[in-house]
Amino acid sequence: MRLGEIAGTDSSAVVTGFALDHRKVAPGNIFGAFRGGHFNGEDFIADAVRLGAVAVIARPEATVEGAVHIAADEPRRRFARLAAKFYAPYPETVVAVTGTNGKTSTVEMTRQLWRMAGHRSASIGTLGVTTADDQVSTGLTTPDIVTFLSNVAGLERMGISHVAYEASSHGLDQYRAEGVPLKAVAFTNFSRDHLDYHGTMDSYFAAKMRLVDEVAADDAAAVVWTDDPRSDEVIGHVRKRGLRLMTVGEKGDDIRLVRRTSTPLGQQLDLAHDGKEYRLTLPLIGAYQAANVLVSAGLVLATGGTWATTLSGMARVAPVRGRLERAVISRAGAPVYVDYAHTPDAIEAAIAALRPHVEGRLITVVGAGGDRDVGKRPEMGRVASELSDLVIVTDDNPRSEDPAAIRAAVMSGAPGAREVGGRREAIAAAIAEARAGDIVLLAGKGHEQGQIIGDRVLPFDDVTVARECAA
């Protein structure tokens, strides 16, 4: 592609790609100079040009010499739009999911439902890029816009027609999860997280609403979970933008959850759709997993799926890695569950899912991540201790922080909790404590494969460690 076609200039220079880190600039690239949390990309413009950048997308006041200056008040947004033209084409049907919790689960179950309906489908998010044959981890939910667009385009070249991706609030705020025409968007729920980055709940919510306000295509559908305190506000955004609204939940019009009954292996859902009632046996426990599967079903219906196929697909949906995953049953007979709950609301949801299955005590192991929202720590401790019979506070990716200080913050909300530094020791203590009839919940790490301490990532998998401790 020529620069003129991409940027609307008269340049005939050939564009070979896009780069947002000057160290990755190759001759013919367009460089995006962004001001970030640690660096000002504008400081690297001269280096990028020396390395062969033909154009630089930067604020009007930035200095660009020796290459075309594509001036934009919001360079990240312009970069996303122009890069999206370059990396096209994309799969025919792409949808995006936002919300505090449930994004990964929803995109993954949407992928499964499409697949069961006969489509070649993929999901992109915290678990990486998942297709029917493969799962490739990317490290972050949305690594960066260039990786994102190349991944989606790569899926199209593999013959994938349906993609569901996770739009995190960081990704939306930094314009790194967009550019691909969207057939539908979805909202799962909203609660406290990431206030270290967004500052206030309202600006966190506003970041998420970019998906509805700007990122969705004009003719997209918006699937909204109705049973969240912010759902009506989301619906307001959908109406204002003029998207096709579909509502799902106890107050939903398109899929209404009439009744939910826990069973030993899952739950029975009575659903109303199009004036009729249906009974679904879902092979997953917990209200939160029912909510996510119903939002997934909404996305499938929004993109042309039929009710009959979607309903039968839901009955066969497979568990999502690290979301209420049963790791092992201890020698005493207590099941040990691993769940990615790392917000107060998620801990509440995970415990609520397990509670109906607990005959004795619920023992929760919990910690909070370093270099992340500090205020959520005592809240996580409080929810865990109010809803569990025993809480063990431990470490979860301390990153650059002092693990003892993070534990102290969690402990401050959890009177009576036991503190065990070292996640393996904490898991061992919980399993040793558990008797028949008890359930152990290991919260916070889910599918993660490492414990991040300082700059190092030490191999760590809650499921494996639980099995070792139970052996």
Ligand X SMILES: Nc1ncnc2c1ncn2[C@@H]1O[C@H](COP(=O)(O)OP(=O)(O)OP(=O)(O)O)[C@@H](O)[C@H]1O
Ligand Y SMILES: CC(=O)N[C@H]1[C@@H](OP(=O)(O)OP(=O)(O)OC[C@H]2O[C@@H](n3ccc(=O)[nH]c3=O)[C@H](O)[C@@H]2O)O[C@H](CO)[C@@H](O)[C@@H]1O[C@H](C)C(=O)N[C@@H](C)C(=O)N[C@H](CCC(=O)O)C(=O)O
Report the binding-site residues: 20, 99-105, 141-142, 168, 174, 176, 372, 396-399, 444, 448
Q: Which is nearer to ligand Y, 18 or 34 (CB)?
A: 34
Environment class of 235 (CB within 10 Å of its CB; exposed 0-12, middle 13-18, buried 19+):
middle
CA of residue 468 relative to chain centroid, distance: 29
Residue ranges of the binding site for ATP: 99-105
Tell me which of 123, 126, 289, 385 binds Mg ion, using CB under 5 A.
126
Binding mask 111-150 for ligand Y (x = CB under 6 A): -----------------------------xxx-x------
Q: Pick the stretch among 16-24, 225-233, 238-246, 257-265 that binds ligand Y (CB under 6 A).
A: 16-24
Residue 26 contact, options ligand X, ligand API, ligand Y, none, Cβ 5-8 Å cut-off depending on partner type:
none
The nearest distance, CB 101 to Mg ion, in angstroms, is 8
Q: Does 103 bind Mg ion (CB under 5 A)?
A: yes
Q: What tokens does 180 get?
A: 């691909």
141/188 with CB nearer ligand Y: 141
Query: Toward ligand X, which CB reaches closer, 102 or 398?
Result: 102
Q: CA 358 to CA 379: how far, in whole Å?
A: 23
User: Which of the choices Mg ion, ligand X, ligand Y, none does residue 41 contact, using the CB cut-off of 5 to 8 A by kind?
Assistant: ligand Y
How far apart are the C-alpha atoms of 169 and 180, rounded to whole Å?
A: 17
Which residues, at least 6 apart from 210, have a Cβ–Cβ distance to it below 8 Å?
Answer: 172, 173
Among 8, 27, 39, 415, contact with ligand Y (rule: CB under 6 A): 39
Round to whole Å and give the CA distance between 54 and 30.
6
At its nearest, how many Å lie between ligand X and the CB of residue 332?
25
Using rule CB under 6 A, residue 188 touches ligand API: no
Spatial separation of the C-alpha atoms in residues 8 and 202, rounded to whole Å = 36
Q: Is the Cα torsion angle 68, 69, 74, 75 positive or negative in sign?
A: positive
The distance from CA 74 to its chain's CA centroid, rounded to whole angstroms, is 25
- Helices 344-354, 376-387: axis angle to 10 degrees equals 20
Q: Choose from ligand Y, ligand API, ligand X, none: what does 396 bind? Cβ within 5-8 Å by kind.
A: ligand API
Distance CA 72, CA 386 (A): 50
Spatial distance between the Cα atoms of 194 and 136, rounded to a whole number of angstroms: 25
Which stretches of the chain bind ligand Y, using CB under 6 A? 20-23, 34, 36-39, 41, 44, 140-142, 144, 168, 170-171, 174, 176
